[in-house]
Amino acid sequence: MKAAASIPVLAMPKVRPGRIIAWTLLFIGGIIMVTPLLFMLSTSLKDASQVYDLRVIPEAPTLDNYIEILGDGRFTRWLINSTIVAVIVTLSNVFFDSLVGYTLAKFRFRGRYIVFIAILSTLMIPTEMLVLPWYLMASQFGWLDSYWGIMFPGMMTAFGTFLMKQFFEGVPDDFLEAARIDGLNEFTIWWKIAMPLVTPALSALAIFTFLGNWTAFFWPLIVTTSAELYTLPVGLSSFAVEQSIQWEKIMTGASIATLPTLIIFLFLQRYIVRGVMLAGLKG
């Protein structure tokens, strides 16, 4: 600090070579990741004739695609479908994953360990293998081609349960016991005392669940047949199939679909970074 005080104000801070390498790598990485997004946005602002003109800044930018897409009843329907599915599944996960996670973390009961292992073991099975039993189940119960059919496999997740269990284990028992002495019932203790103490984990869980469901493609594609029930990703891909591929329309739809994701990242950046760290440390 003493040395710094004597340096003229205009002197540049010293840059270490390690920093330069790191920045360069991050910069390249950033470009690689941003380029597709830029092309998506730029294509959405072009008319059909310009689509194969690969300039990033369109020659004659137009909002026609947006007007057309948003005016297309099917698209808005898919948007609403995606929102309904993602919101309900997220709420359900926040509620049930934490309820089960809390029970596993804070109550001693017979078979607790077996339940935990059973939940954990489903983490080892890839989605692709689960699709078949899900489909059979949905068809047996008559859930095919319905909102519930899209949502039911994700209403609770093993990962979310595991994550919440780990976090609830970090909540000191004293908090719960103090509440027990004050006369709160067990459900209220969970809801009013334990849940607020794990909000970082809850926000991470909510964000990941929402994004995961918003972008989900494989299962909604399989379980839905009527276009009114498509979610956005499924609907957009149907654009590509039905008509001769209209890239500018697909890109416009994709741009709109990306918007919630972008907004979430912009506003909840802090929680996402923390969530990733927490999930990494604990999960």
Partner 1 sequence: MATIELERLVKRYGPATVVHGIDLSIQDGEFVVLVGPSGCGKSTTLRMIAGLEEISDGTVRIDGRVVNDLQPKDRNIAMVFQNYAIYPHVTVADNIAFGLYRSKLSQSEKRRRVEQVAETLGLTHLLERRPAALSGGQRQRVAIGRAMVRDPAAFLFDEPLSNLDAQLRTQMRIEIKRLHHRLATTSVFVTHDQVEAMTMADRIVVMREGRILQVGTPLELYENPVDVFTASFIGSPTMNLLPGSLKDGAATLSLGGTVRAPFASATSSEILVGARPHDLVPSEAGSEGLTVSGTVAVVETLGSETLVHIESAGQTIIGSAPGRQIPRIGEQLTLHAPMEKLYYFDKATEKALAAR
How far apart are the C-alpha atoms of 131 and 128, rounded to whole Å? Answer: 5
Q: How far is the CB of 181 from partner 1 (least distance, A)?
A: 5
Q: How far is the CB of 200 from partner 1 (least distance, A)?
A: 12
Q: Please identify, using beta-carbon distances, which residue of 76 and 199 lies nearer to partner 1.
A: 199
Q: Please identify, using beta-carbon distances, which residue of 250 and 278 lies nearer to partner 1.
A: 278
Q: How far is the CB of 188 from partner 1 (least distance, A)?
A: 9
The answer to the question of residue 99 lying near partner 1 (CB under 8 A) is no
Q: Which helix (H) or strand (E) holds 206?
A: helix 199-214
How many angstroms separate the Cα of 43 from the Cα of each of 52, 58, 78, 256, 259? Answer: 9, 8, 21, 13, 16
Q: Please identify, using beta-carbon distances, which residue of 188 and 243 lies nearer to partner 1.
A: 188
Q: Please identify, using beta-carbon distances, which residue of 17 and 183 lies nearer to partner 1.
A: 183
Using CB under 8 A as the criterion, what x/- string covers residues 125-164 for binding partner 1? ----------------------------------------
Q: Please identify, using beta-carbon distances, which residue of 52 and 109 lies nearer to partner 1.
A: 109
Q: Please identify, using beta-carbon distances, which residue of 184 and 221 lies nearer to partner 1.
A: 184
Q: How far is the CB of 189 from partner 1 (least distance, A)?
A: 11
Q: How far is the CB of 273 from partner 1 (least distance, A)?
A: 21
Token couple for 137: 């189940």
Q: Please identify, using beta-carbon distances, which residue of 179 and 254 lies nearer to partner 1.
A: 179
How many angstroms separate the Cα of 102 from the Cα of each of 83, 162, 165, 167, 191? Answer: 28, 10, 6, 9, 10
Q: How far is the CB of 186 from partner 1 (least distance, A)?
A: 11
- Contacts of residue 161, defined as CB under 8 A and 6 or more positions apart, other chains included, come to 96, 97, 100, 101, 104, 119
Q: How far is the CB of 191 from partner 1 (least distance, A)?
A: 12
* Binding positions for partner 1, 163-222, rule CB under 8 A: 172, 174-175, 177-184, 193, 196-197, 199
Chain centroid, CA 228 distance in Å: 23
Neighbours of 72 (CB within 10 A): 15
Q: How far is the CB of 112 from partner 1 (least distance, A)?
A: 16
Q: Please identify, using beta-carbon distances, which residue of 68 and 177 lies nearer to partner 1.
A: 177
How far apart are the C-alpha atoms of 257 and 264, rounded to whole Å? Answer: 12
How far apart are the C-alpha atoms of 237 and 250, rounded to whole Å? Answer: 8
How far apart are the C-alpha atoms of 85 and 77, rounded to whole Å? Answer: 12
Token couple for 32: 């690689």
CB 176 within 8 A of CB 194: yes
Number of residues lying near partner 1 (CB under 8 A): 15
- Of 156, 159, 168, the C-alpha closest to 193 is 168
Residue ranges in contact with partner 1 by CB under 8 A: 172, 174-175, 177-184, 193, 196-197, 199
